Amino acid sequence: MSPRLIYAIVFIEGFCSLGAEVIALRRLLPHIGSSIIVTAPTIGFFLLALALGYAAGARVTGNYSAIVGRNFLIAALLAGLGLASISVDWLFAHLQPVLVAYLFFIGGILCPLAWLLGQTVPILTNLMQHARTGEASGTALYWSTLGSFLGSLSLSLLVMQWLGVSAAILACTLCLLIGAGLLERGKPKFALAAALTAALAIGFNIQQPVTADTAYADYTISPVDLPKQQNPRAFWVNQSAASLIDDSEPPNYTRYIRHLRQILLDDLGFRDKRILVLGAGGFTLSHREPLNHYTYVDIDPAIREIAEKHFLHEAARGEFIVDDARRFIATTDQRFDAVVVDVFSSHTSIPSHLVTQEFWRATRRVMAPDGVLLANLILDGKLETPYARNLLATIEHVFGRCAVDVLHKAKTLANVELTCFASSQPIATGIYADEKNRADLDRLR
223: phi then psi, degrees, rounded to nearest 5: -70, 150
CB 286 within 8 A of CB 308: no
CB 287 within 8 A of CB 317: yes
Residues sharing a CB contact under 8 Å with residue 432, sequence separation 6 or more, in sequence order: 438, 439
DSSP 129: T
Please tell me if the domain spanning 3-209 has the same topology as the one spanning 218-421.
Answer: no
Q: Which residues pair with 403 in a beta bridge?
A: 419
pLDDT tier, 429 (very low <50, low <70, confident <90, very high otherwise) = confident
Instruction: Give 44's Cβ-side CA count (13 Å radius).
Output: 7
What pLDDT does residue 15 have? 97
308: phi then psi, degrees, rounded to nearest 5: -65, -45
Alpha-carbon distance values, 182 to 26, 148, 177, 179, 186 (Å)? 30, 20, 9, 5, 9
Whether the pLDDT of residue 346 is over 70: the answer is no
What pLDDT does residue 185 have? 85
Q: What percent of the chain has pLDDT over 90?
A: 69
CB 9 within 8 A of CB 183: yes
Q: 97-124 pLDDT, tens per residue?
A: 989 999 999 999 999 999 999 999 999 9
Whether the pLDDT of residue 239 is over 90: the answer is no
CA 123 to chain centre: 36
Residues sharing a CB contact under 8 Å with residue 67, sequence separation 6 or more, in sequence order: 60, 119, 123
Report how far residue 35's alpha carbon sits from residue 349's, in angstroms, rounded to the nearest whole number.
8
Whether the pLDDT of residue 136 is over 90: the answer is no
**Domain 3-209, CATH:** 1.20.1250
Domain range annotation of the chain = 3-209, 218-421
Report how far residue 180's alpha carbon sits from residue 65's, in angstroms, rounded to the nearest whole number.
9
What pLDDT does residue 354 have? 87
What pLDDT does residue 1 have? 77
Q: 34-77 pLDDT, tens per residue?
A: 788 889 999 999 999 999 999 999 999 889 999 999 999 999 99
**What are the contacts of 379-383 at 24+ separation with CB within 8 A?**
379/413, 379/414, 379/416, 380/412, 380/413, 380/414, 381/406, 381/408, 381/409, 381/410, 381/411, 381/412, 381/413, 381/414, 382/409, 383/416
Span 303-325, average pLDDT: 94
**Confidence (pTM):** 0.83
Whether the pLDDT of residue 347 is over 60: the answer is no
Whether the pLDDT of residue 170 is over 90: the answer is yes
- CA quadruple 324, 330, 333, 336: dihedral sign: positive
Q: 172-230 pLDDT, tens per residue?
A: 999 999 999 999 887 889 999 999 999 999 999 986 667 788 888 888 999 999 888 99
pLDDT tier, 409 (very low <50, low <70, confident <90, very high otherwise) = confident
CA 119 to chain centre: 30
Span 227-253, average pLDDT: 90
pLDDT tier, 437 (very low <50, low <70, confident <90, very high otherwise) = confident
SS3 10: helix
Report how far residue 309's alpha carbon sits from residue 306's, in angstroms, rounded to the nearest whole number.
5
Residue whose C-alpha is closest to residue 209's, from 217, 200, 201, 218:
218
CA 313 to chain centre: 25
pLDDT tier, 348 (very low <50, low <70, confident <90, very high otherwise) = low
Whether the pLDDT of residue 445 is over 80: the answer is no
How many C-beta atoms surround the C-beta of residue 132 within 10 A?
Answer: 9
SS3 200: helix
Whether the pLDDT of residue 132 is over 80: the answer is no
What pLDDT does residue 216 have? 86
For all residues of the chain together, what is the average pLDDT? 91
Q: 138-159 pLDDT, tens per residue?
A: 888 999 999 999 999 999 989 9
How many C-beta atoms surround the C-beta of residue 19 within 10 A?
Answer: 27
β-pairing, 233-237 with 240-245? Answer: antiparallel
Report how far residue 347's alpha carbon sits from residue 217's, in angstroms, rounded to the nearest whole number.
12
CATH class of 218-421: alpha beta
Residue whose C-alpha is closest to residue 128's, from 19, 223, 211, 4:
4
